[in-house]
């Protein structure tokens, strides 16, 4: 009875809001006065991942993503305050659901959908009368038993953890059009508009206000407000958007001034709106979308220019060959032994997905694939049961011990475990692959469909003009150069296909007929009346490229993949150090260490680097397309080249240390060997930033 009346109220309120009456939310290319977007997300459920990507998602369902409530019950179990319990009130429960929710929909898995739904239901049915959403901090006298060990129970009123739940509610509405969502968000956003002037995003001394996390991650809040404005057209949301923008770090200005990024060793970044010390790497990944989210409000070209300047500065001061930056947890420079947090990978991916929709700039899709296909697969074990907190570009051992990171976490931040290092990543990693799958296909503003990142999939959706279209995308990309699309239902629409920035000789055929040439870094658009069975074949020749990194080391790339030295692995298990923090029923808390079983200290030869096509042989594995690709056994493609071992390059502390500055002198009695480079995403141990030897110079010196 009570449930019935709550629903009736919800429906009544929803009816009061104009656009919600239509029951349609997406795709939306922005309502005036927002700047129009060229691309928009399709409803959750339109895209079905296939091939290796589907297997990846199924492994997630069998691993941590499908079982975090059971394996990490002290935070994600029934006592979590987002389920009405007396436990964790902060980000980690919503983090998990932000990935579990889309995974459950993509796999059409009712059991996982039910797990995620409990969190949505509790949130939607426990809003405070004034609009506040989510748990509140319990007073000591309200507790009948101690909070679970390891639960975050302070700062429940911080604006930040609510931002994660807003992302979940947006996905839930797009997937279901649940009529409860609109009135709850309307109440919450009106509450924000009323409350933020006196309790802003950053107000450390005000229990009603937020922390620096909220001020640095405010774009997540703003993004959902703009989505809700597109849905409802309520003008107060534009006022709220302006208020949130004023209280969020001004990243466009900071990038323009070069302020954020010269941060190694910096003590302060010059505003009261930030923490002391170097910028936090995950905050930067989340904040990276801030300029373009704000662009939708004012239309200024400075936001895109500042974003590009920001990425260039990251490359200079902290850049790493896999497309992210040294930040273990804080910005820590270009050394190839610096760590990169798993949260940074998944948050940067989500930022890039949103930046791509708003700008249509293919460079963001190139960056998105670079992270998805290189660093993301390495940081989670194949069985999806353990993960790393930090990974390294040159990672030659993963064991308990000092690795020279900014935050050390008792030397356990590099080993694989459920909770090794710090547990944020255990909960946040789940959004990586599902949201990547959800952004493989986008609606285009001209009434068509766009494939701006590539992986095997099928899409069925309604496009502009109300036609239902269905396409299948078959490919072994990123390991293969060909992507084949088959039209499965007749319709007339433009098909948008990204030509990556690294691809100078792309060709496009429709039913075998060559189309006009498409430039690198552009979007090819094929407009026609499609018939069932029409085939579009996109060929993306992958030449080998090199780039320079710390100590003048060299990284080798081919297409979207970074290649790294194949190092055979010896795994061992370490018992958990502090079992007292885990409930008896919790999942496996052992740590997994990995040590090299083959040499790693190789230098490349300059003669091979001078002519990459001749110096590196591409060898395709017979297993390509038949096995799970992201490990040593399954690596679908490898490069072979000659290299020389450097006996002086050893492992100080627990890591490879910096490679010696290049060019390196040829060691005495050196003999060239053939080495195998495999995709970075297939490795656990590796060298990806190689020193190199100038053989001619060395010979002269020897004479
Ligand atoms: Zn994390």
CA of 414 to the centre of ligand 1 (A): 12
User: Half-sphere exposure of 662 toward its Cβ, with a 13 Å CA cutoff?
Assistant: 24
Q: Are residues 488 and 556 in the same domain?
A: no
CA of 82 to the centre of ligand 1 (A): 20
By C-alpha distance, which of 403, 321, 317 is closest to 689?
A: 321
- Say what the pLDDT of residue 404 is: 84
First to last CA, the chain: 94
- Say what the pLDDT of residue 403 is: 84
Helix (H) or strand (E) holding 491: strand 491-499
- Residue 319 gets which letter from DSSP? B
| Distance in angstroms (rounded) separating the CA atoms of residues 51 and 458 | 10
CA of 694 to the centre of ligand 1 (A): 40
CA of 375 to the centre of ligand 1 (A): 14
Kindly list the strands in the beta sheet with 47-49, ordered across the sheet, starting from the edge strand earlier in the chain.
47-49, 457-462, 468-475, 482-487, 535-539, 507-510, 513-514
292-345 pLDDT per residue, tens = 999 999 999 999 999 999 999 999 999 999 999 999 988 889 999 999 999 999
Q: What is the mean pLDDT of residues 282-290?
A: 96
| Distance in angstroms (rounded) separating the CA atoms of residues 450 and 270 | 42
Q: What is the mean pLDDT of residues 72-89?
A: 97
Q: Is the pLDDT of residue 273 over 90?
A: no
Q: Are residues 517 and 588 in the same domain?
A: no
Q: Are residues 510 and 562 in the same domain?
A: no
Residue 89 CA: distances (Å) to CA of 112, 160, 196: 22, 11, 20
CA of 250 to the centre of ligand 1 (A): 23
Coil, helix or strand at residue 125: helix
Average pLDDT for the chain? 91
Rounded to two decimals, what is the model's pTM?
A: 0.94
- Lowest-confidence segment of 16-25, 145-154, 224-233, 336-345 by average pLDDT: 16-25
| Distance in angstroms (rounded) separating the CA atoms of residues 399 and 379 | 14
Q: Which residue has the higher pLDDT, 22 or 480?
A: 480
Give the whole-number percent of the chain exceeding pLDDT 70: 91
| Distance in angstroms (rounded) separating the CA atoms of residues 635 and 627 | 9
- Lowest-confidence segment of 167-181, 206-220, 433-447, 521-535 by average pLDDT: 206-220
Q: State the pLDDT confidence band at 279, using cuts at 50, 70 and 90.
A: confident
- Residue 22 gets which letter from DSSP? G
Which two tokens mark 694?
């100038």
| Distance in angstroms (rounded) separating the CA atoms of residues 530 and 468 | 12
Residue 624 lies in a domain: yes
What percent of the residues of the chain are helix, what percent strand, and what percent coil, each to the nearest 5?
40, 20, 45
Q: Are residues 511 and 583 in the same domain?
A: no
Q: Is the pLDDT of residue 127 over 90?
A: yes
Q: Are residues 518 and 609 in the same domain?
A: no
Q: Is the pLDDT of residue 266 over 80?
A: no
Q: Is the pLDDT of residue 17 over 70?
A: no
Residue 554 lies in a domain: yes
Residue 183 · residue 13 · CB < 8 Å: yes
Task: Give the residue ranges of DSSP H helices in 290-392.
Answer: 290-298, 302-318, 342-359, 362-370, 376-378
**Preceding peptide of 478 cis, ω within 30°:** yes
- Say what the pLDDT of residue 581 is: 56
- Say what the pLDDT of residue 18 is: 42
Length of the chain: 703
Residue 649 · residue 691 · CB < 8 Å: yes
How many structural domains compose the chain? 2
Residue 532 CA: distances (Å) to CA of 470, 493, 536: 9, 13, 12
Could you give phi then psi for residue 134, rounded to 5 degrees? 95, -175
| Distance in angstroms (rounded) separating the CA atoms of residues 502 and 642 | 25
Could you give phi then psi for residue 73, rounded to 5 degrees? -65, -25
Q: What is the mean pLDDT of residues 525-545?
A: 97
Coil, helix or strand at residue 8: helix
CA of 341 to the centre of ligand 1 (A): 6
- Lowest-confidence segment of 108-112, 187-191, 200-204 by average pLDDT: 200-204
Residue 136 · residue 127 · CB < 8 Å: no
- Lowest-confidence segment of 255-259, 284-288, 385-389, 623-627 by average pLDDT: 255-259
Give the residue from 539, 564, 587 where a domain finishes: 539
Q: State the pLDDT confidence band at 21, using cuts at 50, 70 and 90.
A: very low
Q: Are residues 528 and 569 in the same domain?
A: no
Could you give phi then psi for residue 605, rounded to 5 degrees? -105, 130
Residue 447 CA: distances (Å) to CA of 486, 487, 494, 495: 19, 16, 7, 9
Q: State the pLDDT confidence band at 210, using cuts at 50, 70 and 90.
A: confident
| Distance in angstroms (rounded) separating the CA atoms of residues 190 and 87 | 28
Q: Are residues 512 and 610 in the same domain?
A: no
- Residue 463 gets which letter from DSSP? -
CA of 96 to the centre of ligand 1 (A): 12
CA of 195 to the centre of ligand 1 (A): 29
| Distance in angstroms (rounded) separating the CA atoms of residues 542 and 425 | 33
CA of 217 to the centre of ligand 1 (A): 14
- Say what the pLDDT of residue 274 is: 43
> Which structural domain, as residue segments, surrounds residue 523?
441-475+482-539
Which two tokens mark 539?
């060929």
Q: State the pLDDT confidence band at 601, using cuts at 50, 70 and 90.
A: very high
CA of 614 to the centre of ligand 1 (A): 41
Residue 377 · residue 455 · CB < 8 Å: no
CA of 389 to the centre of ligand 1 (A): 7
| Distance in angstroms (rounded) separating the CA atoms of residues 258 and 17 | 43
**Preceding peptide of 60 cis, ω within 30°:** no
By C-alpha distance, which of 219, 227, 230, 225 is closest to 240?
A: 225
| Distance in angstroms (rounded) separating the CA atoms of residues 245 and 221 | 10
Coil, helix or strand at residue 67: helix
663-676 pLDDT per residue, tens = 999 999 899 999 99
426-455 pLDDT per residue, tens = 999 999 999 999 999 999 999 999 999 999
Residue 292 lies in a domain: no
CATH of the domain at 452: 2.60.40
Which two tokens mark 230?
């597109």
Which two tokens mark 450?
């766009």
CA of 287 to the centre of ligand 1 (A): 15
332-356 pLDDT per residue, tens = 899 999 999 999 999 999 999 999 9
Q: What is the mean pLDDT of residues 350-368?
A: 98
Q: Around Cβ 308, how many Cβ atoms within 10 Å? A: 14
Residue 488 lies in a domain: yes
CA of 216 to the centre of ligand 1 (A): 15
CA of 223 to the centre of ligand 1 (A): 21
Q: Which residue has the higher pLDDT, 400 or 277?
A: 400
Please identify which residue in the block is written with the tokens 């049915």: 125
Q: State the pLDDT confidence band at 23, using cuts at 50, 70 and 90.
A: very low
CA of 80 to the centre of ligand 1 (A): 19
Q: Are residues 688 and 552 in the same domain?
A: yes
Helix (H) or strand (E) holding 96: helix 92-106
Q: What is the mean pLDDT of residues 644-661?
A: 87
Give the whole-number percent of the chain exceeding pLDDT 90: 82
CA of 402 to the centre of ligand 1 (A): 19
Q: What is the mean pLDDT of residues 518-529?
A: 97
CA of 428 to the centre of ligand 1 (A): 7
CA of 425 to the centre of ligand 1 (A): 3
Q: State the pLDDT confidence band at 261, using cuts at 50, 70 and 90.
A: low
Which two tokens mark 642?
């000659």
Question: Residue 445 contacts by C-beta under 8 Å, 6 or more apart in sequence?
Answer: 29, 36, 37, 38, 39, 40
CA of 150 to the centre of ligand 1 (A): 15
CA of 343 to the centre of ligand 1 (A): 4
Q: State the pLDDT confidence band at 585, using cuts at 50, 70 and 90.
A: low
Q: Are residues 518 and 554 in the same domain?
A: no
Q: What is the mean pLDDT of residues 544-554?
A: 98
Residue 201 · residue 274 · CB < 8 Å: no
Residue 489 lies in a domain: yes
Residue 194 · residue 141 · CB < 8 Å: no
Buried/exposed code over 84-110 (b: 16+ C-beta within 10 A; e: otherwise) = ebbbbbbbbbbbbbbbbbbbbbbbebe
- Lowest-confidence segment of 113-122, 177-186, 201-210 by average pLDDT: 201-210
Q: Are residues 653 and 518 in the same domain?
A: no
Q: Are residues 549 and 687 in the same domain?
A: yes
- Say what the pLDDT of residue 68 is: 97
CA of 502 to the centre of ligand 1 (A): 30
Q: Is the pLDDT of residue 547 over 70?
A: yes
Q: Are residues 526 and 551 in the same domain?
A: no
Residue 674 lies in a domain: yes
Residue 671 lies in a domain: yes
CA of 427 to the centre of ligand 1 (A): 8
DSSP secondary structure, 269-310, as one string: -SSTTS-SSSPBHHHHHHHTTHHHHHHHHH--THHHHHHHHH
CA of 424 to the centre of ligand 1 (A): 4
Give the residue from 519, 539, 559 where a domain finishes: 539
Residue 646 lies in a domain: yes
| Distance in angstroms (rounded) separating the CA atoms of residues 143 and 593 | 40
CA of 12 to the centre of ligand 1 (A): 40
Coil, helix or strand at residue 74: helix
- Say what the pLDDT of residue 701 is: 42
Give the residue from 509, 539, 569 where a domain finishes: 539
Cα 314 → chain centroid: 17
Pairing of strands 340-341, 390-391: antiparallel
Residue 439 · residue 369 · CB < 8 Å: no
């Amino acid at each position: 009875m009570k449930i019935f009346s709550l629903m009736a109220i919800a429906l009544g309120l929803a009816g009061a809001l104009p656009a919600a009456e239509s029951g349609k939310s997406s795709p939306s290319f922005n309502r005036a006065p927002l700047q129009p977007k060229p691309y928009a997300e399709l409803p959750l459920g339109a895209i079905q991942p296939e091939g290796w990507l589907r297997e990846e998602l199924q492994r997630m369902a069998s691993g941590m993503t499908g079982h975090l409530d059971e394996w990490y019950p002290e935070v994600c179990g029934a006592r979590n305050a987002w389920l009405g319990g007396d436990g964790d009130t902060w980000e980690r429960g919503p983090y998990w659901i932000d990935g579990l929710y889309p995974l459950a929909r993509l796999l059409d898995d009712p059991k996982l959908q039910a797990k995620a739904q409990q969190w949505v239901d509790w949130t939607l049915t426990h809003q405070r009368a004034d609009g506040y959403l989510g748990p509140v901090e319990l007073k000591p006298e309200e507790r009948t038993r101690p909070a679970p060990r390891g639960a975050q129970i302070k700062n429940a009123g911080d604006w930040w953890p609510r931002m994660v739940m807003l992302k979940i509610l947006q996905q839930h509405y797009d997937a279901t059009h649940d009529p409860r969502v609109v009135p709850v968000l309307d109440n919450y956003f009106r509450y924000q508009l009323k409350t933020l002037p006196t309790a802003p995003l950053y107000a450390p001394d005000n229990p009603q206000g937020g922390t620096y996390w909220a001020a640095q991650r405010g774009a997540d809040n703003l993004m959902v407000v703009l989505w809700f404005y597109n849905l409802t057209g309520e003008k107060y949301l534009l006022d709220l958007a302006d208020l949130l923008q004023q209280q969020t770090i001004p990243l466009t200005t900071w990038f323009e001034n070069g302020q954020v990024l010269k941060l190694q060793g910096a003590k302060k970044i010059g505003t009261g709106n930030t923490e002391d010390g170097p910028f936090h790497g995950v905050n930067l990944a989340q904040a990276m979308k801030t300029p373009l989210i704000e662009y939708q409000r004012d239309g200024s070209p400075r936001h895109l220019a500042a974003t590009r300047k920001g990425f260039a500065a990251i490359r200079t001061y902290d850049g790493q060959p896999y497309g992210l930056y040294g930040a273990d947890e804080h910005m820590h420079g270009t050394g190839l032994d610096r760590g990169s947090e798993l949260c940074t990978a998944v948050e940067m991916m989500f930022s890039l997905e949103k930046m791509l929709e708003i700008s249509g700039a293919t460079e963001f899709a190139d960056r998105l694939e670079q992270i998805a296909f290189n660093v993301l697969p390495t940081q989670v074990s194949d069985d999806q049961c353990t993960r790393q907190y930090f990974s390294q570009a040159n990672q030659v051992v993963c064991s308990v011990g000092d690795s020279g990171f900014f935050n050390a976490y008792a030397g356990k931040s590099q080993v694989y475990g459920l909770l090794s290092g710090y547990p944020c990543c255990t909960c946040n990693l789940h959004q990586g692959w599902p949201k990547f799958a959800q952004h493989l296909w986008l609606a285009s503003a001209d009434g068509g469909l766009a494939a701006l990142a590539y992986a095997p999939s099928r899409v069925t959706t309604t496009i502009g003009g109300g036609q239902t279209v269905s396409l299948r995308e078959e490919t072994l990309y990123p390991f293969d150069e060909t992507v084949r699309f088959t039209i499965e239902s007749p319709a007339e629409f433009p098909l948008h296909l990204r030509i990556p920035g690294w691809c100078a000789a792309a060709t496009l055929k429709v039913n075998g007929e060559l189309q006009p040439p498409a430039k690198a870094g552009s979007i090819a658009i094929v407009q026609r009346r499609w018939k069932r069975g029409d085939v579009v074949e996109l060929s993306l020749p992958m030449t080998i490229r090199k780039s320079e990194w710390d100590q003048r080391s060299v990284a080798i790339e081919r297409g979207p993949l970074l290649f790294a030295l194949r190092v055979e692995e010896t795994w061992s298990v370490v018992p958990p150090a502090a079992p007292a923090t885990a409930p008896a029923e919790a999942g496996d808390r052992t740590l997994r260490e990995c040590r090299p079983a083959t040499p790693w200290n190789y230098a490349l030869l300059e003669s091979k680097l001078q002519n990459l096509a001749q110096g590196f042989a591409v060898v395709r594995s017979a297993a390509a397309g038949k096995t799970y690709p992201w490990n040593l056994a399954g690596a679908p493609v490898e490069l072979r080249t000659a290299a020389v071992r450097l006996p002086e390059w050893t492992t100080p502390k627990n890591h490879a240390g910096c490679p010696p500055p290049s060019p390196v002198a040829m060691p005495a009695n050196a003999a060239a060997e053939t080495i195998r480079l495999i995709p970075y995403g297939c490795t656990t141990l590796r060298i990806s930033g190689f020193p190199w030897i100038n053989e001619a110079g060395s010979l002269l010196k020897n004479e």
